[in-house]
Structure 1
Amino acid sequence: MFWQQISRIWLMQRVGRAPDQRPGRRRPAAATLFGSLLVMSVCCASLPPKAVASPPADPATGAPVAASGQQTGENASMTTITVSNASQLQAAFASAKDGDRIELAAGKYGNVQLAGRSFATGVTIASADSAKPAVLESLNLDKVAGLDLADITIDPTGFGQNGSKTTRLLVTNSRDLDFSGLSIEGHIPTTAEGVNPKAKSTQRDDAIAG
């Protein structure tokens, strides 16, 4: 009965008179306002509440949590990846995004080649513990830009005096590189051994070239 009365009031407004008015009489303003409010109430009541998505929460504390491997707050776009060998390092570098940090667990990594990546805001590769730096046999950087390397040791085995002389740190076609805490150990060939340390060629048998 209530809904029939509301519908009747609304229809009477559409034809220009209230339900208790006779044709030719001016309808009271109060009746018009009352009918409009009822129609608005019916329309608003029929709308379902809008669902609001909630962020994932820690089951123990109920606090919002970030996705695995990601930071929150000011470092929300940075991901820290820990690796323990050369293949993991090269894979992490290949998929890294601007602002990421790749940390090297202590140990030996052999020969590492990183190539073909350019970062606008920089990516960092560093030992997880500067007191126990990762040890590389050699490091080759080609077509790399925006890379920071820190607290890494290059210590080639069998790189003795008058022995096999092979480039251990090679940088080509790269820019915006930052080295800090980088240590190169072992014998560096001299002029007396037939190597010119001032040569411009990157093909010379020297420990550092580029």
Structure 2
Amino acid sequence: MTENPTAPRRPALARARALPAWTLVAGGVLAGGLLGGGYGLAKPATYTATSYVVAVPTEKSDPASALGFAQAYGRVATQLAVLGDAQVWAGVPVRTLQSSVRTATSPDAPMVAITATSSRPDLAADMANAVSRALTRHANDTKDDTHVELQQFARATKPADPSSASPAVTGLVGASAGGLLGGLVLLVRPRRTAGGSARPAAVPGPAVAAEAHGQL
């Protein structure tokens, strides 16, 4: 007698189909919340610090030129020439600065924001200030040619709170995703007939389709 490998699966599948509809959504919410909360607890907290520098025109320049050079300095700040000097003051390798430091500029103000992230709040502030210092030094080495001087506007301070999502937030996101997944499974679950057996959605046969086509 040949064993049917799918036979043991049928009772389990039937029991799953017999569960109330709300259990799929509730189970998804619970599982997603646990996974999301666990991820939030396991992932180290991330801290963010930002320093600001501002481009100031000299007597031989104008505000429009300062604004244009601020945009350029924002792109130069993460280049190797600047980060090579910044690594000495920050006490971290260049590759760490490349992966942790980002810059942003404004189309309306000649200002550059230098943001650093780290699992240590003091290191995040040190990296932002180190890149700001190195950028200012490089920019002012050529101010006689550019007629624009870069000055420090605000130093980065040690952040008191992490910028990464808390376990409560990640748990809430996971619960929402789990509930959505449970709802999708509920939508594709086979419908049950009056006798209690599951059946797929009805598909019209060729004859019915031909008759409907002839009536058009």
Determine if the TM-score, normalized by the shorter chain, exceeds 0.5.
Answer: no
Q: Which has the higher contact order (CA 8 A, sep 6+)?
A: 2
Compute the TM-score of the two structures, normalised by the length of structure 2: 0.19
Indicate the structure with greater helix content. 2
Q: Which has the higher strand share?
A: 1
Computing the radius of gyration over CA atoms, which structure comes out larger, 1 or 2? 1
What is the TM-score with the length of structure 1 in the denominator? 0.19
